[in-house]
Structure 1
Amino acid sequence: MLTVHDLIAIDPLKLQVLAGLAGTSRIITWAHTVDLPDPWRWVSPGDLVMTTGVGMPIGDSAQVEWLEKLAQSNASAVVIAPREDAPALSPGLLEAAERLLFPLLHASFELEFVKLSHYVIESVLQAQRERFNASERLFQTYAQALRMAPDMPGRLSILAKNLGGHLAIEDAVTGIRIVESQPSGDQALVNIERIPIAGRTQANLIISRRPHVSMDDSILLRSLVGLLGVELERQMIHRDQQREEGAALLRSLLDSEVEPALTRPMLERRGLKGTLIALAIRPGSGSVRTPDDIHHAPALHVATPLLLAERNLLLAIGCDDSALFQALLEGLGQGTQIGISGPITTASGYREAARQSRLALTQAAELAVPTLRYGEAETGLIMAPKSLPEARALVARYLGPLIEHDRLQGATLLHTLTTFLKNDGNWKASALDLGIHRQTLVYRIKLVEQLTGFNPTTTQGIARFWIAIQAAINSDLLGLG
């Protein structure tokens, strides 16, 4: 683009700087001839104002006011080729030009403004051609990047190399850099600029440039941002599809007994490797992301968990990763709580892991903590609960599965367990009190063990169940008194 300084350097024009030399770096976008007394009403930002001076007022203060209004229009400069009857330029006018950093140029009246306009217009057209050529090269480079680079970091690096800078995309919600180009060269990068990417991506493009490298063309930047916006939207559509497929898969895993070993290859293709756990999540309030779009959080891009909305909860199967838990807590808002199951194994399965996560979530709510692993609430509670929340957590931990089973199946496992413990584990006496066959009692006690993970016939199981039952009685939680 042509600047005022460049225009002055064109020798045939023989322009002289009368004042405002410090502002000659201004860019000229067009040339406009006006001799009216109010030229600021007819010019646009960046215009080079050309006048014979006949419209200028007479008097120092009036000329200063005239120049101030013209400068407020953001014109690039004013060229005065004075006619014989034009008023003389006052000292105050020159001082105002210096103060406003507004270039005031003098030209001979014999200079035809059309010649001056020709230089400006040719420069503008040339800049337009260069912009369109740069945009065309950008699209060609992007098409080449799509063929050469299989991932977005590679494509971004190719684009950055072509533009002579460094590119990065950050999540606008968290400020985390999602992807960035590879650094190249030893020269420091300056002029860092952050540009929002339109659409639902909630991302910014960060451009870092080397000294003397220009990337300030609006058309070029809009083209670049538009291309990257399409790329990010395509990735979001892919993650949406993954979310739907993951929900269907998780629902299938919870509805049927499937060995974890059989599903491992499928989950590993989704990035879910290593130790897997189940999560029961109760979203908080004031969240930056909703449960429906939490899968777009940057921390979930590499290994997106299986997510399934269930009433007011969000169930998930994911990696045992503290960064994942933190991302969910931060993304779903203040007050979010997460129950974490034990490791998913062939022995436990997905159903059991989901049950453990729900139970851990219940205990997390009772203890008012953001995250709680299955079994962590036992510490300090197994001896004796010291408060009503501890009693509730203890009952939920050891008796919760039985209560839920009795509610869904119309069974009496909790009553059976209570009767069995009151009879000190005597099979005959317990069966007689319950009015059932001994083998039926054996079946029920085994079912208690399967649901809770503790055997009521062992010392450890008896102690845990008995303390939980006493806590329920003393706190009047289940009407067992």
Structure 2
Amino acid sequence: MWLESLLSRGELGLQACVDVGEHRSITGAQVVEIEDPGRWILPGCLALTTGVAFTNDVEAQTSFVRSLQRADASALGYALGNATDEPPPGLIVECRRVGMPLFTVPFEVSLRDVVTTILGETFGPMAVDRDQVIEMQDFLLASLDHREPQQELIRRLCELLGTPVAVVGTNGMVLTHAGDAAQLDLIAEVSRAFPGDVQRADRRFLVSEVQLPLGAPLKLVIALGSLTRAENLARSLSRFTCGLLKMIAMSRRLRTELERRMSARVCRALLDPSLPKGRKLRDEAACLGLTGEDAMTVLRISGLPAHHERGEEDKVEFSPSLTVHDFLDRLRIPYIAAPEGCIHFAIAQGKDIEKRIRELSPWRAFSRIAVGLSSPTSNFEALPHLATEAQLAHRHLDPRIGEGVSTAMFHGTNVADLLLAYVPSAVRHNLMDVLAPLDDKPDLIATLRAYLDNRRDVTATGAELYLHPNTVRYRLAKVETLIGRSLDETDLVVAIHVALRDRVATGLDGGSARRRVETRP
């Protein structure tokens, strides 16, 4: 029921004292004679009082109105001839200040008559056929069994009311809608208003807020249009629908959380070399979309958090707060992931995965995201080895890269990569010792790396480093003296090549030995 409709009832003789100039919906009525009525008033209800709780006490009058305003009461009715013959001035001033409509009830009219009129108008249409209302609620409840419960729920509510209905996010984006699509822009604008009845462009809308346990709230917007007595049914079904929307959100979040926990457990098991890759484990992977029918690639990812910060769960745009799951979801291929702190392992199934990652252009606007990729395989037993490959590829990504996404793929044809990936760390440690005498000689390490990259050509090495060939020969001779072996020995050259690649991957060079050609303007 609308406040304007109540005031227009001539038989009640109600007179407006404070008109706030907006439509106010009344969902019920209560008589309150206590100092703090907000504890007992429901949102949208009309408060009626004789004023005995605050007679001649301006401070008590102010507190009384503020309590009603905090409780979201729709209006205040003051009964004349009981405590005073006119509304107290303090009451009028505070009602104007907080925007609370105030009207008077004549002494000849009982407050019971006002309450009876409101309740009869508000609940009368539904009380006529209560079974029908229950049947409608069951009809809405059945949407939970649908594959897309939120979309089906809104469609059914639109079918029952015969008017456009929409669910809108806090940013004004229409998430789900049913009915006349021409009103979507208006609905998006209306959703930014406070919950309640909103008037826009000669149309009325009912805006209800859905508070979710986690994440930003949603708005349910119903276009009331020409609904008259069915408005009360719309309000009742709106409250019921808000409860179902909250249930759907909780169910979706719980299902997602369970799937991700299962994904992490299966991913860790598949990458663990000590665990057998039996049928049960493969069946669980298949339930998550990882069937092995297409090539699988192991990814090592850094630069993304494992979980959302509280309150950021429902952001839809690209943002630094998005998680590793949000990143992988945008590849649109089956995957499982095991988030661990700031560095994560994942197994993705599909073709051209590195290309898909590079095409995620919106991510380039944010901080460093590094992805190391293994070689592809269709063999589940090979996945632990591929994890080593992905880790090695990730280690070779330059830690000084700028903002954006950088990728590195393991190349099995490179002898150094194969040795670093598959030789035990204890054995690899002996290979690294060959460069120990050069740890404090960055110029010699830079010369040695350029010499091997240029197929041991002294002239080409000098050209790259902007050095005279004789200077290159002098430095190489000094390297041989410090190491104690000749660079003509093939096994020594292989060991140095592997050691140099490992130094880059582990960041031991620290950037001080970068070639001059890379630093020239």
Asked if Structure 1 and Structure 2 have the same fold, meaning a TM-score greater than 0.5 normalized by the shorter chain, the answer is yes
Pairing partner for 1:118 from 96, 116, 119: 116
1:60-99 aligned at under 5 Å gives the runs 68-74=62-68, 76-82=75-81, 86-88=84-86
Q: Does 1:207 align with 2:220?
A: yes
Pairing partner for 2:258 from 215, 224, 237: 237
In structure 1, the residue matched to 2:374 is 341
Distance 2:53 2:143 in 1: 58
CA displacement at 1:229 relative to structure 2: 1.9
Distance 2:367 2:135 in 1: 47
Distance 2:342 2:32 in 1: 68
Query: Structure 1: 5+ residue runs without aligned partners?
Result: 379-396, 416-421, 423-460
Q: Does 1:197 align with 2:196?
A: no
In structure 1, the residue matched to 2:478 is none
Distance 1:71 1:234 in 2: 45
Asked if the contact 2:80/2:87 (under 8 Å) is kept, the reply is no
Name the CA shift for 1:343/1:87 in 2 (closer, same or farther; >3 Å). same
Paired residue secondary structure (1:115): helix
- Residues 285-329 of structure 1 show CA distances to partners (whole Å, capped at 9, x for unaligned) of 696379xx96764853964413357899533221416666899x9
Pairing partner for 2:345 from 309, 312, 315: 315
1:283-322 aligned at under 5 Å gives the runs 288=308, 297=326, 300=329, 303-308=333-338, 314-318=344-348, 319=350, 320=353
Name the CA shift for 1:209/1:241 in 2 (closer, same or farther; >3 Å). same
Name the CA shift for 1:77/1:26 in 2 (closer, same or farther; >3 Å). farther
In structure 2, the residue matched to 1:429 is none
Amino acid at match of 1:361: H
- Residues 333-374 of structure 1 show CA distances to partners (whole Å, capped at 9, x for unaligned) of 97653212344478x964664343222111115555753222
The two structures have a TM-score, normalised by structure 1, of 0.57
Paired residue secondary structure (2:108): coil
CA displacement at 1:39 relative to structure 2: 8.3
Name the CA shift for 1:349/1:145 in 2 (closer, same or farther; >3 Å). same
Asked if the contact 2:269/2:275 (under 8 Å) is kept, the reply is no
Distance 1:132 1:224 in 2: 23
Asked if the contact 2:66/2:98 (under 8 Å) is kept, the reply is no
> 367-376 or 91-100, which moves further after superposition?
91-100
CA displacement at 1:279 relative to structure 2: 0.8
Query: Structure 2: 5+ residue runs without aligned partners?
Result: 193-208, 228-233, 311-321, 433-451, 453-489, 510-521
Name the CA shift for 1:317/1:86 in 2 (closer, same or farther; >3 Å). closer
CA displacement at 1:215 relative to structure 2: 5.7
- Residues 194-216 of structure 1 show CA distances to partners (whole Å, capped at 9, x for unaligned) of 644326xx575453443648668
1:56-455 aligned at under 5 Å gives the runs 56-57=55-56, 68-74=62-68, 76-82=75-81, 86-88=84-86, 101-123=99-121, 126=124, 137-144=136-143, 146=145, 149-152=146-149, 155=152, 158-159=155-156, 161-162=158-159, 165=164, 180-181=175-176, 184-189=179-184, 190=187, 191-192=190-191, 195-198=210-213, 202=215, 205-210=218-223, 212=225, 217-251=238-272, 266=286, 269-270=289-290, 276-282=296-302, 288=308, 297=326, 300=329, 303-308=333-338, 314-318=344-348, 319=350, 320=353, 337-344=370-377, 350=383, 353-364=386-397, 368=401, 371-374=406-409, 398-403=415-420, 405-407=422-424
Asked if the contact 2:76/2:102 (under 8 Å) is kept, the reply is yes
Paired residue secondary structure (2:142): helix
Name the CA shift for 1:400/1:289 in 2 (closer, same or farther; >3 Å). farther
Name the CA shift for 1:215/1:294 in 2 (closer, same or farther; >3 Å). farther
Asked if the contact 1:157/1:180 (under 8 Å) is kept, the reply is no
Distance 2:278 2:32 in 1: 83
CA displacement at 1:411 relative to structure 2: 9.4
Q: CA RMSD in A?
A: 5.9
Asked if the contact 1:278/1:315 (under 8 Å) is kept, the reply is yes
- Residues 381-424 of structure 1 show CA distances to partners (whole Å, capped at 9, x for unaligned) of xxxxxxxxxxxxxxxx7535325644368699969xxxxxx9xx
In structure 2, the residue matched to 1:450 is none
Distance 1:308 1:467 in 2: 35
In structure 2, the residue matched to 1:455 is none
Rg larger for: 1
Asked if the contact 2:80/2:105 (under 8 Å) is kept, the reply is yes
Asked if the contact 1:399/1:414 (under 8 Å) is kept, the reply is no
Asked if the contact 1:239/1:295 (under 8 Å) is kept, the reply is no
CA displacement at 1:108 relative to structure 2: 3.4
Name the CA shift for 1:412/1:82 in 2 (closer, same or farther; >3 Å). closer
Distance 2:120 2:269 in 1: 62
Amino acid at match of 1:356: E
Amino acid at match of 2:181: D
Asked if the contact 2:420/2:498 (under 8 Å) is kept, the reply is no
The two structures have a TM-score, normalised by structure 2, of 0.54
Asked if the contact 1:278/1:340 (under 8 Å) is kept, the reply is yes
Distance 1:108 1:176 in 2: 45
Asked if the contact 1:20/1:99 (under 8 Å) is kept, the reply is no
In structure 2, the residue matched to 1:30 is 29
